[in-house]
Structure 1
């Protein structure tokens, strides 16, 4: 068999493994090992596993991942996880759809702590959904807004998805964080505009609630001020060059510990729990990264990416057309694969094509994560939808997916804007020199 055919069979085998529930890291590693054994030799493939594993674990920049995870868990323990929605609700709840608008603001704020879509939607929904149901919000509208808003957790820095992409693609994490600011902000604005439009058309979807007095607004704002200052200092310092990514994450951990001490509630048991949660999550992601690098090595040796790049250049496809085709493939795969699997499967194949067309790998990382986010709410998988359904089993899945449709339309428009105007992602890193 030719190397290219082995590469195609490897990709098909990976899709089969993932579809039957094989863990992402295990599937990537098995396919990478088997493919390399066929392309080179079994002995060389085994040696490659040892080299890749050692080099991955010993990379200094990989320390940024567990440190940002620890910062998030410390902020959770400090009680900061639910304050963002509470503050936004005090300021916006009295407007039509105000609690839905507040849920988008809460997701954006909490996403800056968690860096995870699923953690964001689970935490904010646990607070916001009961409030919206008590206020008489339409179930589909409320759950649709929460499922869509949860996707902000994957794009707002410090995004775990962007950190993993930066490590796999060997790109600056600081530049990726800077590049995600405007797309994340415009994404939130698109969701808010969708909520406003739906409530303008049908006010019964999101009734007004009682206006909160300023004596309640200001304390709610003060409760998130310390966390916001910590996030701005850490992410801002990283983007303007005060810290390296690992230093920024270390500063974030120390700041979160100080914040926890001032807020009260610090105990040995809670601190041990935060460390244990961090180690479990980091260990899982390390396995995924090692597997992804093995799979990327296999794809590179097979020559698939080079063949596809030459094919794109030979047919004189424009960069825009190539990206649109990639987006369609990603959206199709996103209906059957979870976001991390999708990103790790496609990055070794699509990134070389994008670079051969002269596209920025930083922009491509934002595009990839943005497209991946849509998979979190895109049927039939839509992991965010199932998270909400697990918390509100009386709301049918069909109702939640129906409520997602207006936000999916906003997602597609926003994705088209990102493709048409790459400066949306590249302007800020250029200004900051990140």
Structure 2
């Protein structure tokens, strides 16, 4: 009863619209008081906010968010898309393919999917409309391609997973490379099949001259150097993920001011968005930590493991049930909130079944990626539709074909763990 009542209260509070951070904090405090009494619970409430926010690893989050926002507000993303546009825009569906390639490049620069979707929608959708592309293809492509930022490092989802489970963030970043590239290939395949079946939704654009294509590479070199510094530093072991985040934020500021046309207004907007996102994430983490004390006091994770051990299901069957739950939650709850909320229960369970923590992190992040474009929440669809000034319904119709590719990639990652574990296996952290 002491577990069931707070759990039911959490679901009710979320359903009536209470912010997830507050719902976690309130139900966690009440549940902990029921389990260990109010005096110890008050001690938890006094110390948890500071102890949680003072975690050095968490400084990675605002730094990578700031890096993403600075790049999104500068002309770097526009230069990246223009280069892709000039090289492959003449192919039928090439402008949509260019958006996928540019989003892949932006994902390697920043870990914010909403920033990627918003920036790419402002830049690429007007170009696609100019050449007669259907809004469903244009907005759907931008929305779904933005989700690459939650898988391709540096990734907020992988950082949160690493912090909460004490798994190497560097190894998680390496593990996300191949799944991220596979996902981008799946998006490109969906576009090619779609435009082959319906050529009228994506007319071919004129082919650019060789001179113009070569010239388009030059403005992108600062971003390429930044990728090498951030990811190369992490993969080589020269710097930690936190230090890489600081290098990335500083580099994004230098590039934005020196080559990206970042002005005072854009800089202010980037800071405001960074503060808003950071405050939201930290509030959810603090609430989840309070809720975690309640779970620990009631031994809920251990009891769940014991109960699952009695089920007449093989380990892979239990894993599929967990993945199905993640996909279902993605319809209704913010993806980072899902990761923070569920890991205290699912991570010990999955580890007890003998699965690799790095591989499970990729699977969880992949389900979060899918949740970013599935109705009714689908945050990336709302962001892309708003930036493109079109109806949300059009955006959701546009992402539906891409969900087929998402499911295929998820199935491959589940069936072939080597896709996620090959690169981390090459380097010992």
Instruction: Output the TM-score relative to the length of structure 1.
Output: 0.92
| Distance across 1 between alignment mates of 2:317 and 2:65 | 37
| Distance across 2 between alignment mates of 1:242 and 1:402 | 45
1:113 aligns to what SS in structure 2?
coil
Cα displacement string for residues 36-64 of structure 1 (whole angstroms, at most 9, x for unaligned residues) = 11111112112112222222222222222
- Per the alignment, do residues 177 and 414 of structure 1 end up closer, same or farther by CA in structure 2, a change over 3 Å counting? same
Which aligned segments of 4 or more residues in structure 1 are displaced greater than 6 angstroms? none
- Matching of residues 16-415 of structure 1 within 5 Å: 16-263=12-259, 265=261, 271=267, 274-315=270-311, 317-392=313-388, 394-395=390-391, 397=393, 399-415=394-410
Offset at residue 169 of structure 1 (A): 1.8
| Distance across 2 between alignment mates of 1:17 and 1:374 | 25
The count of corresponding residues between Structure 1 and Structure 2 is 429
Moved more, 385-394 or 47-56: 385-394
| Distance across 2 between alignment mates of 1:292 and 1:328 | 22
Moved more, 261-270 or 341-350: 261-270
CA contact (8 A) 1:162 1:177 kept: yes
- Provide structure 2 residue ranges, at least 5 long, that are not aligned to the other structure: none
Moved more, 244-253 or 369-378: 244-253
- Per the alignment, do residues 246 and 77 of structure 1 end up closer, same or farther by CA in structure 2, a change over 3 Å counting? same
| Distance across 1 between alignment mates of 2:268 and 2:382 | 30
| Distance across 2 between alignment mates of 1:353 and 1:322 | 9
1:258 aligns to what SS in structure 2?
helix
- Per the alignment, do residues 274 and 410 of structure 1 end up closer, same or farther by CA in structure 2, a change over 3 Å counting? closer
CA contact (8 A) 2:110 2:149 kept: yes
Offset at residue 101 of structure 1 (A): 0.7
Offset at residue 268 of structure 1 (A): 6.1
Kindly indicate whether residue 429 of structure 2 is the aligned counterpart of residue 418 of structure 1.
Answer: no
Moved more, 286-295 or 186-195: 286-295
| Distance across 1 between alignment mates of 2:11 and 2:220 | 43
Instruction: Output the TM-score relative to the length of structure 2.
Output: 0.93
Moved more, 188-197 or 58-67: 58-67
CA contact (8 A) 2:109 2:226 kept: no
| Distance across 2 between alignment mates of 1:179 and 1:36 | 36
- Per the alignment, do residues 400 and 281 of structure 1 end up closer, same or farther by CA in structure 2, a change over 3 Å counting? closer
Offset at residue 265 of structure 1 (A): 4.5
CA contact (8 A) 1:168 1:289 kept: no
- Per the alignment, do residues 148 and 278 of structure 1 end up closer, same or farther by CA in structure 2, a change over 3 Å counting? closer
- Provide structure 1 residue ranges, at least 5 long, that are not aligned to the other structure: none
Aligned-residue CA RMSD (Å):
2.1
